[in-house]
A and B are shown apart, each in its own frame.
Chain A
Amino acid sequence: MRAYILRRLAQSVLVVWAVTTIMFFMFRVMPADPTAILLERGLTDEARQALLEQWGLTGSMWDQYLAYLGNLIQGDFGSSFFYRKPVWEVLWPLIVNTLWIAIPGLLLGAAIGAAIGTAVGWARRGGKLERSGIFLATVIRGVPNFVIGIALLTIFSSTLGWFPGFGMGDPGATTGFARYFTLDFLHHLALPLIAVIIYFMPENLLLMRSGVVENRTEDYIELVRAKGVPQRRVAWHAARNSMLPLITWLFPALAETIAGIVVIEIVFSWPGVGRELVLAVTRQDYPLAQAAFFLLAVMIVLANLAADLVYGKLDPRVVYK
């Protein structure tokens, strides 16, 4: 078991290194020039050279790469070209903001999806509930996330006026950590959170339903049923055993969801990592974009690792080799 964990860890580090390297070279061959805005305003050649030096963009690609890796190992992501300060200082509050919609969205989406999925899976095969459940889930799954966002905003913000149309808080509202515990924040959180839930729920629902359908004819369920246990409890038995694949699926899904939240953040003007990543790419702010990308990749790798380990813990049939 220990050997297995160590091996998986080493593997993960390698994967992170590979992804980082790919990204580094991708950003370096971008035909864009981070000094362009200044050039348009008449930056001189010497000043431009000084800037490039300051940003670590002179010297051979290989030297730049080694310097980048060296800094990265020490936890130094470099300085943002745009903000003129360490990338980490820019990113961490944005990460917190992203997690505020990602984690509750994911958990609620999974819980609601699993609950409905159990009901649909336990329903009579070919019955109304099953058919409409599957149909709706499949259709909702086909709605692009920005369309979900547009629809929510149009209905609940522009038309009904129940929720604010953008951002994370009214200007001038509480600042600092305390802001996360204000009604104003929750009010702003509602729509983007619902969007993540809707985006995320159908897949859970379908997965859970498949699990329950597979389990309901297993012998042990028949056994439970034969003991005269009420239907609801029997369904719970089947559901519990269907959760295993759902949970292992949750981890990688978390990482992918955080990545996919980019679009939702943009539609709702939510100040998160994804929105910043898109802005950084358009501004040619490589260090910031690279760091955001790196963090997302690390999250995915960790999630996959966790999924493997948890799967082993939950399912005794898995043998570590």
Chain B
Amino acid sequence: MTTKIRRLAATLSLSTGIAALCAPAMAQDLGEPVPQLQIAYYAADMGPMYEQSARVLSEEWAKLGLSFQMQPVQFSSFISNIMVGGGLEDMAVFTVGADPDRVDPTYWLHDLGACGARRNGAKWCDEAYTEMVKKQRELVKQDERLQLVHEAQKYFHDVAPWWPATNTVYGILWNSDKWDNVTSPAPVAAHEGLVDPWLSAKPKTDDRILDWAHYEDVTTYNPMAEEGAVGWVRFIFDTFAKNNSKGETVPWAAAAWEFTDPQTVKVTLREGMKFHDGEAVTADDAVFTINTVVELQPPAMSSRIANLAGAEKVDDLTFNVKLKAPDASFITTVLTYLFILPEHHWANYDGDKVARDVVADGAVIGSGPFKFKSWRVNETHELETFAEHFHAAEYDGVRRLALGQADAIRSAMLSGTGDIASMVLPVAAMSDLAAQNDHLDFLEIPSHGSMLVWLNNQKAPFTDPAFRKALRVATAKQRAAIEGWLGFAVPAGEGPVPVQLGMWHNSELPEVPFDVDAARKILEDAGYGWDGQGRLHFPKK
């Protein structure tokens, strides 16, 4: 109902605008009218930002003489039908999250853009480009790789198969009466998320347990079955390295690593680490873990371990990881992801290790900064500080409250039950709460999470580079950031790689300022025209 009204309003304002701009071209000079275009976006169950953004962007695009059909799609259907299934009809406006492995440019350049890449839902295929982005991954010398990554971005930017609109800004809200230093990422994120509780928080009161007012439950404590890359379970199981808030990969359970050849990485473990049951962490445990996941190929880990060939022990603290093919992104995406299982708890387990219920077996034993204490389904998870860890927290433990809804999170933060909130409660609401309450503080966390504009590159009019570029010029990034994301997103930079990735982003790409008139000019120059109603027509054949 309202869509119709909106469309009507858009055509009305359009026709007057066009009459002022230029006299409509003669109908016989024009080709077929450009049909109505479908815009797919995440349905409201993912939050209202997507719909608001799609609405705002299409309002501006409509000024090019286009009309749109809004198509909310559930997250899972979007992924399986559009992102992976190749079912993009016309356009999509959607968001990819700030997953920790996405600090490597491979995700943006290759996974979302190369021919045949699984998540290339915009269906653009360019052989030369694909070769470039495949090659960059194999260059283990960083300066060589950097150069090729920048080149690929230039190539991509010139062709414009799709482009980012905004980068998401996350936020942390915390109780500053009870906690100090909550948001300091040093030493590094113990966890992998950008906004999850850090290790360096200091309690100011006798309440030495950090309560994280969170949305949902944890799926499992078995790291092999865990779904996400960003997992609470990494508090319990150490990874070899961590990405810090600057995007650098820094030592964690591994003290050092180096490529001894393009397919071999020598990793040295930190000295003196212990598992929660008191046993020492050795290279045997690491080798056992890597070889186990290579053998079992747990589905939840499949994307990260696909290139792993195995591991072999060098000495008590050193081992070699063998790769199937050279892979520079191994450091940023795999070393920060792989965990260490205690061999003595797993080697003799006869059942399906991936499906093992570790809570029931009392086998939630890792070497991480926290020990597992209790789990009440869909209610609370409690972890205790592991005092012998090399970066043990100064507080006694952390609790994750599965509150399930923004309103309860808000109430938890106001009443002091929750100490930190970082998800689900919209960032704007966090900022408001901090402004209104003395005991709450707020911090903005910029991220590489991006809202992208995708086009079906195999279908007219999107097969025409001029049309794509006109759409890009008419992409109201600023409006989407303010009206769609309530100011908690920033207009994205140029090219596929987010600015937030630092050196990986090519800062020399020419800026494309938002300009509807310029967009119309591009279309006009390419032979497009408008009829008396202001509707865009294809060039005459």
**Interface: B184 (CB within 8 A):** no
* Closest residue of B by beta carbon distance from A52: B299
Contact B411 A157 (CB under 8 A): yes
Contact B80 A35 (CB under 8 A): yes
A-facing residues in B66-117 (Cβ within 8 Å): 74-81, 83-84, 96, 99, 111
Q: Which residues of A contact B355 (CB under 8 A)?
A: 54, 84
Contact A41 B378 (CB under 8 A): no
A-facing residues in B405-435 (Cβ within 8 Å): 405, 407-408, 411-412, 414-415, 417
A3–B81 Cα gap in the complex (Å)?
Answer: 54
Q: Which residues of A contact B403 (CB under 8 A)?
A: 166-167, 269
Q: Which residues of A contact B302 (CB under 8 A)?
A: 38, 42-44, 46-47
Q: Which residues of A contact B119 (CB under 8 A)?
A: 40, 42
A266–B411 Cα gap in the complex (Å)?
Answer: 14
| Chain B interface SS verdict (over half) | mixed
**Interface: B222 (CB within 8 A):** yes
Knowing A33-B77, A84-B355, A266-B404, say if A38 contacts B209 (CB, 8 Å): no
- Interface residues as binary, B280-304 with A (CB distance below 8 Å gives 1, 0 otherwise): 0000000000000000010110111
Contact B405 A266 (CB under 8 A): yes
Contact B303 A43 (CB under 8 A): yes
A93–B374 Cα gap in the complex (Å)?
Answer: 15
B-facing residues in A146-174 (Cβ within 8 Å): 153, 157-158, 161, 164-172
**Interface: B377 (CB within 8 A):** yes
Contact A167 B401 (CB under 8 A): yes
**Interface: A279 (CB within 8 A):** yes
Our pick among A43, A157, A175 for the contact of B299 (Cβ within 8 Å) is A43
Q: Which residues of A contact B404 (CB under 8 A)?
A: 266, 269, 275, 279
Our pick among A44, A51, A169 for the contact of B303 (Cβ within 8 Å) is A44
Q: Which residues of B contact A126 (CB under 8 A)?
A: none
Q: Which residues of A contact B79 (CB under 8 A)?
A: 33, 36-37, 39-40
**Interface: B306 (CB within 8 A):** yes
* Closest residue of B by beta carbon distance from A97: B379
* Closest residue of A by beta carbon distance from B225: A84
* Closest residue of A by beta carbon distance from B419: A171
A36–B403 Cα gap in the complex (Å)?
Answer: 23
Contact A271 B379 (CB under 8 A): yes
- Interface residues as binary, B226-266 with A (CB distance below 8 Å gives 1, 0 otherwise): 01110000000000000000000000000000000000000
A285–B222 Cα gap in the complex (Å)?
Answer: 18
A-facing residues in B445-472 (Cβ within 8 Å): none
B118 to chain A, nearest CB (A): 7
A158–B404 Cα gap in the complex (Å)?
Answer: 18
A166–B211 Cα gap in the complex (Å)?
Answer: 14
* Closest residue of A by beta carbon distance from B379: A271
- Interface residues as binary, B8-23 with A (CB distance below 8 Å gives 1, 0 otherwise): 0000000000000000
B-facing residues in A63-118 (Cβ within 8 Å): 82-85, 90, 93-94
A284–B76 Cα gap in the complex (Å)?
Answer: 8
Contact B306 A44 (CB under 8 A): yes
A-facing residues in B193-218 (Cβ within 8 Å): 209, 211, 216-217
Our pick among B99, B219, B297 for the contact of A82 (Cβ within 8 Å) is B219
Contact B399 A171 (CB under 8 A): yes
Contact A175 B80 (CB under 8 A): no
**Interface: B312 (CB within 8 A):** no
B359 to chain A, nearest CB (A): 8
A42–B411 Cα gap in the complex (Å)?
Answer: 36
A295 to chain B, nearest CB (A): 16
**Interface: B382 (CB within 8 A):** yes
Contact A41 B80 (CB under 8 A): no
Knowing A83-B220, A275-B404, say if A168 contacts B303 (CB, 8 Å): no
**Interface: A224 (CB within 8 A):** no
A50–B299 Cα gap in the complex (Å)?
Answer: 7
Contact A171 B228 (CB under 8 A): no
Q: Which residues of B contact A43 (CB under 8 A)?
A: 299, 302-303
A42–B108 Cα gap in the complex (Å)?
Answer: 13
A55–B29 Cα gap in the complex (Å)?
Answer: 58
**Interface: B357 (CB within 8 A):** yes
Our pick among B83, B299, B401, B411 for the contact of A38 (Cβ within 8 Å) is B299
Contact A165 B377 (CB under 8 A): no
Q: Which residues of B contact A83 (CB under 8 A)?
A: 217, 219-220, 377
**Interface: A34 (CB within 8 A):** yes
**Interface: A203 (CB within 8 A):** no
Contact A172 B399 (CB under 8 A): yes
Q: Which residues of B contact A31 (CB under 8 A)?
A: 74, 77, 81
B-facing residues in A112-144 (Cβ within 8 Å): none
**Interface: A186 (CB within 8 A):** no
**Interface: A190 (CB within 8 A):** no
A276–B376 Cα gap in the complex (Å)?
Answer: 13
Ranked nearest first, the 4 interchain pairs of A and B with the lowest CB-CB distance are A42-B303, A165-B411, A36-B76, A47-B302
Task: Give 11 CB contacts A-B under 8 Å.
Answer: A31-B77, A36-B79, A37-B79, A37-B228, A39-B83, A41-B229, A41-B303, A44-B303, A83-B377, A168-B379, A267-B407
Using a CB–CB cutoff of 8 Å, the interface residues on chain B facing chain A are 45, 74-81, 83-84, 96, 99, 111, 118-119, 209, 211, 216-217, 219-220, 222, 225, 227-229, 297, 299-300, 302-304, 306, 355, 357, 374, 376-380, 382, 399, 401-405, 407-408, 411-412, 414-415, 417
Known: A40-B119, A82-B217. 8 other contacts (CB 8 A): A32-B76, A36-B79, A40-B79, A42-B304, A44-B303, A166-B408, A268-B408, A271-B376
